[in-house]
Structure 1
Amino acid sequence: MSSDTLSRDTGDALGRSRNSLKIRHSLLLLLAALIWGTTFVAQSIAAKTISPFTYNFCRFYVGALVLLPVAILVGKKDPLAPNYTGASIPGMRPKKSRTRDLRICGIACGILLFLAGGFQQAGLEYTTAGKSGFITALYIILVPIFGLFLHKKCPPLVWISVALAVIGFYLLSIRGGFSVNRGDLLTLCSSCMFAMHILTVDHFIPRVNGIQLSCIQFLVSGTLSVFPAFLLETPDISSIAQCIWPILYAGILSSGVAYTLQIIGQRGLNPTLASLLMSLESVISAISGWIVLGDSMSPKELTGCVFVFAGVILAQLPSIRRLRK
């Protein structure tokens, strides 16, 4: 076998391996979107009894507590973690650098997560839930736009997929006319925070342990949520106890599991593709509300779901085709 043939075969094998990894990570993000979408039911139930910031600090603290022992154990075997106890590896960065990156990213992600939820909740006081869902989903456009400033380019097919998804979200979320008010602008700020969160994770994830990052961001976001909870709301132990199951569902699955899947799944994926996959949360929440809560879905909304799914599938086609070769 000639050296050229061997080199070509090796390159093909590496290409298939990378595409296989991308598909696996895409499935992790799809699973995260599925969990977030079904969490909508838990949030709807909890909203009848507990205030939003109280709900947020409870679920984020639950997520952090669930992940804490896992983060400590996993970190001991991961050269990216500050508490790595294994043998030294060539090229491994000093503990001080690993600690600094984890601290910076964890605090940044926690602040962005807190701001995203806060702006979204404030916007809901002035706009409808449908418009809020549509505007929040615009992070699938904001991610590639912001990414241009960070020299992250997207193939034309991904831009087409994003356009299909935006059309789908409009059909799914908007009823009647569309006008812009104060609540819509606040919700747009929320969408910007979500986009920045995705890009922040994309920037740091090659250098930090994903589970430890997830744990720290929940501690930060939960702590920040405590202040508005006690200043603007009246946290009540009995109300929290009544919502214990929705809080545990959101804390363990939505926070502890799904956000960790997001961080791990984003590794090696284009952030625009990652945001497109995670945007399925809105479609799944609409479908789960239809099935579990009995919310109605019109033909227009069902058509919107089809458009979003079409955009996501279209964005995945290149990796699937290359994997089959």
Structure 2
Amino acid sequence: MHSEFRWRVFSRQEAVLVLATVVWGATFLIIHIAVQYSGPWFFVGMRFITAGLISALLFVRILKGLTLREIWAGVAIGVMIFLGYGLQTAGLQTLNSSTSAFISALYVPLVPLLQWVVFRKRPGMLTWVGVTLAFIGLILLADPGSVGFTFGTGEIVTIASTVPIALEIILIGWFAGKVHLGRVTVVQLLVAGFLGFLAVPLAGEQVPEFSWVWVIASVGLGLASCMIQLAMNWAQKSVSPTKATIIYAGEPVWAALIGRIAGDRLPPVAIVGAMLIVAGSLASELRPRRRRKTVTSTDVLENAGH
């Protein structure tokens, strides 16, 4: 008796997205280690200048058609990348990678709320459920106990970083269809990197002493951003937004697993809070299909230097 049986957990495209999410999860620990050797703003400058220069080399032919509107779009989005990932990186100086990743996931339910404020697009019921779950999760992640909340500077700065990251997504949705996203991507990465370097003296940072730690980390993340972007653009042509959303929601989970291996330890109540944040992110994204497309966090993944 002969029968052919194929057991496949993921398609090749889905496997690529899972791998990209694992790499994203690992970036939190990588950055946490790197900023012990470099100031956060210098590191952000190195990371995004590298990504921008590599992108410019890869897409040099399409840059010839760069328009003023695309420059404006790239500058606007680049400012949000600079603020969002700059604050996130600053928080990682004192915050462990697991906690940072879960707090950073709050940008997902923030997107529809900010869309409501900016575009008067009323959020659906699932969005409110997601926001509620995420808020409760954030409180539990602070591990409230007899001594009260344990939010420090790292947590506060990381919470603040979710606002510009959410605005970055909204801006990408706003400019989509009006500009060439490839050219805008190059501009936004270069702008984010330039602003990172500009912030070094303003923040009172010093150019760090040479260390292979921050060199390999910043250049490696810049290269990874470009390579993952190309792979994702290929994969998302055949992976549904719903599946992609579920896969991307695993980013903080992977960060926590990698952080655990590196020695991070979250108390049980914080783990429950982290799970609620992930559940809230999923609930706010997995909404019924509507006639008109709304901007979600997955939109940013096609254009951002994550």
Query: Structure 1: which amino acid aligns with 2:191?
Result: V
- 1:63-105, CA deviations, whole angstroms, 9 ceiling, x for partnerless residues? 11221132235x3xxxxxx64xxxxxxxxxxx6xx72332111
Distance 1:180 1:169 in 2: 10
8 A Cα contact 1:134 1:174, kept in partner: no
8 A Cα contact 1:33 1:281, kept in partner: yes
8 A Cα contact 2:35 2:214, kept in partner: no
Per mean C-alpha deviation after superposition, the further-off stretch among 218-227 and 136-145 is 136-145
1:111 aligns with 2:79: yes
Q: Which of these two proteins has the greater Rg computed from alpha carbons?
A: 1
Distance 2:149 2:231 in 1: 34
Identity between Structure 1 and Structure 2 (%): 29
1:44 aligns with 2:32: yes
Partner of residue 147 from structure 1, selected from 115, 121, 126: 115
Deviation at 1:112, TM superposition (A): 1.2
CA RMSD of aligned residues (A): 4.2
Q: Which residue of 1 aligns with 2:183?
A: 212
Q: Structure 1: where are the runs of 5+ without partners?
A: 1-23, 76-81, 84-94, 320-325
Deviation at 1:111, TM superposition (A): 0.9
Helix, strand or coil: the match of 2:264?
Answer: coil
Higher helix share: 1
Q: 1:260 to 1:192 in 2, by over 3 A?
A: farther
Q: Which residue of 2 aligns with 1:300?
A: 269
Q: 1:187 to 1:44 in 2, by over 3 A?
A: closer
Q: Structure 2: where are the runs of 5+ without partners?
A: 1-11, 290-306
Deviation at 1:288, TM superposition (A): 1.5
Query: Structure 2: which amino acid aligns with 1:224?
Result: L
Partner of residue 238 from structure 1, selected from 202, 205, 210: 210
- 1:149-178, CA deviations, whole angstroms, 9 ceiling, x for partnerless residues? 31434432343234334434444x312333
Helix, strand or coil: the match of 1:72?
Answer: coil
Q: Which residue of 2 aligns with 1:283?
A: 253
Q: Which residue of 2 aligns with 1:60?
A: 48
8 A Cα contact 1:142 1:195, kept in partner: yes
Q: 1:1-325, aligned counterparts within 5 Å?
A: 33-73=21-61, 75=62, 83=64, 99-120=67-88, 136-148=104-116, 149-171=118-140, 173-176=141-144, 177-178=148-149, 187-230=158-201, 232-236=204-208, 238-239=210-211, 241-253=212-224, 255-257=225-227, 280-291=250-261, 293-311=262-280, 314=283, 315-316=285-286, 318=288
Distance 2:151 2:271 in 1: 25
